[in-house]
Structure 1
Amino acid sequence: MKLSQSSRWTLPNCLTGFRFVAAPGLLWLAWQGQGIGFMVLLALAFLTDVLDGFVARLTGQVSEFGATLDSWADVVNYLTIALGCWWLWPEIVTQELPYVVMIVASCLLPAVAGFAKFGKFTSYHTWGVKLAAAAMGATLYLLFLGGPAWPFRLAAVICILAASEEIALTLLLVKPESNVRSIWFVLRRKKST
């Protein structure tokens, strides 16, 4: 079923869309050396990421379009974070580069796998990905505001595990699905059929 243009302008999709609008602002703030402004705007972007799915379920506006839009916003957000943090805190990013690469790869590799198999972007939104995003978001602040690096490194490992689950889902599924809780639900469903 194809959505009309007007039905795409829902509150959840507008919350998701904020992340696309915020990305150039984040890059500009980073380029200008405005670390605090960058972190504040990033916090708002993270907040909209948390709220969009919740609001979609609450208002009955869950859609394939919204799930795909959210996944694209995640990719834009992760790439923006990586570049912005590189501009603002190059020493820290250089020191943590393997973990930064792991986090960026965890966002890009499942997308590549989805395109390779299905010819389109996948939007699984597994519990693992939600945990990984929360871990990355929280530890990012801890790292760049002067805290220890080990929580960020642990978050990078969680991101890779979540990405591995997404890639496994792509290999397992016959067609792409949105909002899959975990691979275990898919395996259980396959076993019962």
Structure 2
Amino acid sequence: MFRFDKYNIADWFSFYRIFAVPLLLGLVWFGERQLFTWFLLISYSTDAIDGFLARKLNIVSARGSQLDSVGDQITLIMGLIGLIVFETDFMKANYGLILLAFIPYVLQMIIAFIKYGKATAFHTYLAKTSAVLQGVFILWLLFFGPVYWLFYTMIIIGVLETIEEISLIYMYPHWVKDVKGIFWAFKDDRRTARSKTAKENGV
């Protein structure tokens, strides 16, 4: 049974990105490019808001991190759907580079689900940078047109972020949230199953 009282205000901003999917799909279906882009902008904005609120109100949780990750992935997929429909020529002209970034991203998700049974929520610095670049590029393309230096930067950072994400999946035997990056992971005792068991036993 779905209980509203289980979720805090930051969680509901994450939920917005999920609940907005039918609206965004409807706007794509009816060819409402401008409205779609504005509502996509709102979805991207909630990504910044939920994280800020969680930290400001000290309500950071594993559930919230997971919701945030799911919302991010859904928003990215909706952005790509918008580009396929509204920027078909751009997507056709650059499908090779897009697949270069997207296929490893899908592979990373599959590896995470096989190992953890759910998506990762590392929220590394590189992941946050990649998400910002993706959002800025997609929105700029839909509002104004392509900026190729931003496109190439987004692809490079996206590939590097995916490589880091896959590396972290293999470094952590159990699902964890909020890892700043590989450098910090080497100093994180959550990487060992022993430390996890000790914490669960209160040692």
User: What code does the residue aligned with 2:44 have?
Assistant: F
- The higher radius of gyration belongs to 2
Distance 1:105 1:49 in 2: 23
TM-score by length of 1: 0.88
Measure how far apart 1:108 and its partner are. 2.5
Give SS of 2:121's match. coil
Measure how far apart 1:100 and its partner are. 3.0
Distance 1:7 1:59 in 2: 17
User: What code does the residue aligned with 1:142 have?
Assistant: W
Match of 1:188 in 2: 187
Contact 1:16-1:70 within 8 A present in 2 as well: yes
Distance 2:82 2:145 in 1: 17
Match of 1:91 in 2: 89
User: What code does the residue aligned with 1:173 have?
Assistant: Y
TM-score by length of 2: 0.84
Distance 2:68 2:150 in 1: 26
Match of 1:154 in 2: 153
Aligned sequence identity (%): 25
Structure 1 range deviating more: 30-39 or 114-123: 114-123
Distance 2:185 2:22 in 1: 37
Match of 2:58 in 1: 60
Q: CA RMSD in A?
A: 2.1
Measure how far apart 1:9 and its partner are. 2.1
Contact 1:109-1:163 within 8 A present in 2 as well: no
The equivalent position to 1:131 in structure 2, one of 129, 133, 141, is 129
Residues 40 and 170 of structure 1, relative CA distance in 2, 3 Å threshold: same
For structure 2, the residue ranges without an aligned partner over 5 or more in a row are 196-203
Give SS of 2:176's match. coil
Distance 2:114 2:13 in 1: 29
Contact 1:169-1:183 within 8 A present in 2 as well: yes
User: What code does the residue aligned with 2:35 have?
Assistant: G
Give SS of 1:188's match. coil
Distance 2:104 2:41 in 1: 21
Distance 1:53 1:6 in 2: 20
Distance 2:59 2:101 in 1: 30
Match of 1:76 in 2: 74
Match of 2:200 in 1: none
Contact 2:14-2:67 within 8 A present in 1 as well: yes
Residues 175 and 7 of structure 1, relative CA distance in 2, 3 Å threshold: farther
Distance 2:65 2:74 in 1: 14
User: What code does the residue aligned with 1:121 have?
Assistant: A
The alignment covers a number of residue pairs equal to: 189
Match of 1:50 in 2: 48
Contact 1:125-1:181 within 8 A present in 2 as well: yes
Match of 1:23 in 2: 21
Measure how far apart 1:103 and its partner are. 4.3
